[in-house]
Structure 1
Amino acid sequence: MAQHRHKRETPARPRLSRLPRAVQVAAPLAVVATLSAVTMGVLAAEPATSDDLLASSGSQSTARAAADSEPGAGRPSALSADPTADPTADPTAGSALRRRDESPVSRSRTRSAARAEAAREELAVDRRARRLAREVGDTMWTTEVLNLWEGPSEKSDKMGVIGELEQVAVTGRQQMGRTQVVVDGQSRWVTSGYLVEDKPKPEPEGPSLGGVCSNGSAIDAGRASLYEIHDVVCANWPEVTSYGTWRGDGEHGQGRAIDIMVSGSTGWAIAEFLRTNYAALGIEYIIYAQKIWSVERSGEGWRGMSDRGSVTANHYDHVHVTVY
């Protein structure tokens, strides 16, 4: 019997599928090439110090925390969307972006603030002007009764009046045809055209109705109005002393006419005064220097008369007055 050799039997191992050799070689080479490229890129870049890295890390963390706390966190901003933007180029860029989310300032509030500021400036100028007026002592004189206005504008309120020939302190300010004055310590404005530097001389008073005849002249007449005419002429022109009333013809015979014996410019002054006050004195018509004026034709003024042949007949030496 043949002697058999005992063989040790081992369990059968499953056969692994083998990759092609080219693949097995190419894979490790690709990994090595990738690591080399990354390493070269890092070495070629400018090395950052550890302080810069820490600062950059801290700033980024702080910025992310602030962005998360702001409304609308997580939304991309216009600044981050532009990779070429330089946040250091314009210091106000961030403020401008933030203002987009803020409420716009009201125009009415802006105008109100501007008006308030203008009013404050005007008050300051007014105070300085009044103080300067007290220090310098510049004054002017009024030529008429003037309205006192709160300001130079036509829309200003009226604050009273100041009398004629009054001396007032002026500040030197003039606006819109008005001059600033100081009255009782208050700033007021008056019309500039009625202020003068020197005190005006009062005009002599003209003739007026009434008065007393003091030159001793007297008349005898048939109308009360003729006595009034004599008295007013005598009071205003005492140099006239001769009058004629009664005569045997016409209106003189009726007792309603008077002759005032005067000539030249004084005669015209008397004739114009009587014409102006015809209603108060009951006058119907007046004749002087060959001219006549009558109530009936008053719109025509003084009218010429025909030549009667003499100075007296043409009324060059007296004013003739007829009353109703």
Structure 2
Amino acid sequence: MAHNRHKRSLHARRSARAVKIAAPLAVLATLAPVSVGVLSGDIDPSLNMSGVAFAGSAGSADRVPEVSRSVPRLVPTAAELERVARKSATDKAIKNASERLWTTEDVKVWSGPGRDATLKGELKAAREVLVTGRRDKGRAEIVQQREARWIDESVLSTYKPIIASSGLSMAPCPRTSGDIGLTQKATYVLRSVCAAFPQISTYGGRDGHGEHVNGEAIDIMTSDYALGTAIAEFLIAHSSEFGIEDVIWRQQIWMPGYGWKGMSNRGSATANHYDHVHVKVY
């Protein structure tokens, strides 16, 4: 009996010793292929192995690999949100644009309404433009080649302006019989207006009343508001070349240095110059 107990005790000590030896050997057996893999290039040497449990390691059954929290969260800034909102509003304005207006004079085209806007080009007078209806800082938003652009809102009109088709001229007017008794200066005005505004077919020259007596005045016959206004502006723009003393149109008189002033009622459309533009030279 005592002999058997001795054998069992000896067997237990040998088993415990075997476990002590086997555990490190198991770890070495596990690490060896890993090391070989690293050296052979099969495993990335920079790989973090701290979260991997090896055979025989303490607490390996309870260890869970940690999730990295080093990736930053992408939160848009206030400026980015504002840019997105502004672009969305612009896209919507372009999509809904339907009104068309006309430029009354040459105008610069800008990227935006602010002072920091960049110059994008120029539009000539009498150009039709598509407008969005948005206005800011004295500029109006237009659509140009599917892009939002801004121009001076004061040059926009619902009517197509009438622009002189050519500059000053001394070529004879084919729509009058001669120069209708005018002085040389007045003839220059007549021929230039005739060349610039071929719509006009009737002119009044020298006669026995008022400023027409000496052949220094011309009546340019039209009742059309837009056409008559364009002619009056043409005359004023070249007043120094023509030597103009006054221009009368629709009961108003323009004189160099004074601008437009109202006139008293003379009793009829003709007397009040609603059916013609009157111009007199020195």
Answer with 1 or 2: which has the greater Rg. Answer: 1
More helix by share: 1
More strand by share: 2
Indicate whether the TM-score tops 0.5. Answer: no
Q: Output the TM-score relative to the length of structure 1.
A: 0.38
